[in-house]
Chain A
Amino acid sequence: MQRKEKEVTPNNILLVLASLSLYGKPIEGRTRLQKIVFLLKNKYGLPFSFDFKPYYYGPYSEELSDLVSLLRALGFAEEKTDHFGLDQIRYDYVLTEKGKSYLEKYSKASGKDTKQTIRKLRRCISKLSLLPTPELISEAKSLMKIKSETS
Chain B
Amino acid sequence: MGNSFIDPLLGTIEIPPWLTTINDEPAIHRMMRIKQLGLKEFISFPSATHTRYMHSLGTMFLAGKLTDLLVKKEENREKGRKRTRLADNLKNNKNVLMAAGFFHDIGHGPFSHVLDFVIEKEFGRSHEEIATDIVKHFAKELEGDSIPVGVVNNIITKVNEPYPYLRGIINGPLDVDKVDYLLRDSYNVGLKYSFDSSQFFDQIAVLGDGDDLEKCQLGLEKTPQAVVCAELFLLVWKSMYTLVYLIQKSRIAEKMLEKAILFAIDNGYGIKDDIENIDRYMELDEAKLLSRIRESDGFPKEIYKRIFDTSKLYIPVLEEDLDSFKPGQKFSEDLLKSQDAVSEKMTKELSKLESGRPYSIICDLVSSKNPKEIYIDEKDENEEPIEVKDKSYVIRALTQPQVLVKTYVHPEVPKIEKYTQELGKGIKAEIQRIMDGW
The answer to whether B329 and A13 touch across the interface, beta carbons within 8 angstroms, is yes
The answer to whether B323 and A73 touch across the interface, beta carbons within 8 angstroms, is yes
Listed stretches B20-28, B299-307, B378-386; interface member = B378-386
Which residues of A sit under 8 angstroms from B390, Cβ to Cβ? 88-91
Which residues of B sit under 8 angstroms from A56, Cβ to Cβ? 207-209, 212, 215-217, 385
Q: Is B401 an interface residue, CB under 8 A from the partner? A: yes
What is the chain A residue whose CB lies nearest that of B275?
A1
Listed stretches A3-11, A18-26, A37-45, A116-124; interface member = A3-11
Instruction: Given A3-B124, A4-B129, A54-B214, verify A65-B335 contact (CB < 8 Å).
Output: no
Residue in A30, A70, A72 whose beta carbon sits within 8 Å of that of B335 in the complex = A70
Q: How far is the CA of A1 from the CA of B322 in the complex (A)?
A: 34
The answer to whether B391 and A1 touch across the interface, beta carbons within 8 angstroms, is no
Which residues of A sit under 8 angstroms from B216, Cβ to Cβ? 56
The answer to whether A66 and B336 touch across the interface, beta carbons within 8 angstroms, is yes
Residue in B125, B337, B372, B389 whose beta carbon sits within 8 Å of that of A1 in the complex = B125
The answer to whether A55 and B396 touch across the interface, beta carbons within 8 angstroms, is no
Q: How far is the CA of A146 from the CA of B212 in the complex (A)?
A: 15
**Closest chain A CB from B225 CB (angstroms):** 14
Q: How far is the CA of A5 from the CA of B124 in the complex (A)?
A: 6
Contact string against A for B residues 117-139, beta-carbon threshold 8 Å, 1 for contact and 0 otherwise: 00000111100011000000000
The answer to whether A12 and B375 touch across the interface, beta carbons within 8 angstroms, is no
The answer to whether A89 and B123 touch across the interface, beta carbons within 8 angstroms, is no
Which residues of B sit under 8 angstroms from A13, Cβ to Cβ? 329, 332-333, 336
Interface residues of B in 326-382 (CB under 8 A from A): 326-329, 332-333, 335-338, 367-368, 370, 372-373, 375, 379-380, 382
Interface residues of A in 61-100 (CB under 8 A from B): 62, 65-67, 69-70, 72-75, 81, 85, 87-91, 98
Q: How far is the CA of A135 from the CA of B379 in the complex (A)?
A: 16
Q: How far is the CA of A68 from the CA of B183 in the complex (A)?
A: 30
The answer to whether B215 and A55 touch across the interface, beta carbons within 8 angstroms, is yes
Residue in A3, A9, A31, A137 whose beta carbon sits within 8 Å of that of B123 in the complex = A3
Q: Is B308 an interface residue, CB under 8 A from the partner? A: no
Which residues of A sit under 8 angstroms from B401, Cβ to Cβ? 69-70, 72-73
The answer to whether A6 and B164 touch across the interface, beta carbons within 8 angstroms, is no
The answer to whether B386 and A88 touch across the interface, beta carbons within 8 angstroms, is yes
Q: Is B241 an interface residue, CB under 8 A from the partner? A: no
Contact string against B for A residues 112-140, beta-carbon threshold 8 Å, 1 for contact and 0 otherwise: 00000000000000000000011001000
**Closest chain B CB from A31 CB (angstroms):** 5
Which residues of A sit under 8 angstroms from B217, Cβ to Cβ? 55-56
The answer to whether B164 and A53 touch across the interface, beta carbons within 8 angstroms, is yes
How many of A's residues come within 8 Å of B, CB to CB?
46
Q: Is B278 an interface residue, CB under 8 A from the partner? A: yes
Which residues of B sit under 8 angstroms from A73, Cβ to Cβ? 322-323, 367-368, 401-403
What is the chain A residue whose CB lies nearest that of B341?
A6
The answer to whether A4 and B208 touch across the interface, beta carbons within 8 angstroms, is no
Interface residues of B in 253-306 (CB under 8 A from A): 275-278, 281
**Closest chain B CB from A37 CB (angstroms):** 15
The answer to whether A12 and B336 touch across the interface, beta carbons within 8 angstroms, is yes
Instruction: Given A56-B216, A56-B217, verify A62-B278 contact (CB < 8 Å).
Output: no
Which residues of B sit under 8 angstroms from A91, Cβ to Cβ? 389-390
Q: Is A143 an interface residue, CB under 8 A from the partner? A: no
The answer to whether B391 and A6 touch across the interface, beta carbons within 8 angstroms, is no
What is the chain A residue whose CB lies nearest that of B212?
A56
The answer to whether A57 and B338 touch across the interface, beta carbons within 8 angstroms, is no
Q: How far is the CA of A106 from the CA of B375 in the complex (A)?
A: 36
Which residues of B sit under 8 angstroms from A1, Cβ to Cβ? 123, 125, 130, 275-278, 281
The answer to whether A6 and B123 touch across the interface, beta carbons within 8 angstroms, is no
Q: How far is the CA of A106 from the CA of B123 in the complex (A)?
A: 33
Q: Is B202 an interface residue, CB under 8 A from the partner? A: no
Q: Is A46 an interface residue, CB under 8 A from the partner? A: no
Which residues of A sit under 8 angstroms from B141, Cβ to Cβ? none
Which residues of B sit under 8 angstroms from A98, Cβ to Cβ? 323, 326
Q: Is B393 an interface residue, CB under 8 A from the partner? A: yes
Which residues of A sit under 8 angstroms from B124, Cβ to Cβ? 3-6
Q: Is B116 an interface residue, CB under 8 A from the partner? A: no
Q: Is B387 an interface residue, CB under 8 A from the partner? A: yes
Q: How far is the CA of A40 from the CA of B335 in the complex (A)?
A: 24
What is the chain A residue whose CB lies nearest that of B384?
A31
Q: How far is the CA of A133 from the CA of B390 in the complex (A)?
A: 18
Instruction: Given A66-B336, A88-B380, verify A106-B130 contact (CB < 8 Å).
Output: no
Enumerate the 4 nearest inter-chain pairs by beta-carbon distance, A residue then B residue, closest first: A75-B323, A56-B208, A57-B385, A69-B401
- Can you report 12 residue pairs joining A to B where beta carbons are below 8 Å apart? A3-B125, A4-B124, A9-B337, A13-B332, A14-B329, A55-B217, A56-B212, A88-B380, A88-B390, A91-B389, A98-B323, A133-B382
Known: A55-B208, A98-B323. 15 other contacts (CB 8 A): A2-B123, A2-B125, A6-B338, A10-B333, A31-B384, A54-B214, A70-B332, A70-B335, A74-B327, A74-B403, A89-B389, A89-B390, A89-B396, A98-B326, A134-B382
Instruction: Spell out B's residues near A (CB within 8 Å).
Output: 122-125, 129-130, 164, 207-209, 212, 214-217, 275-278, 281, 322-323, 326-329, 332-333, 335-338, 367-368, 370, 372-373, 375, 379-380, 382-387, 389-391, 393, 396, 400-403
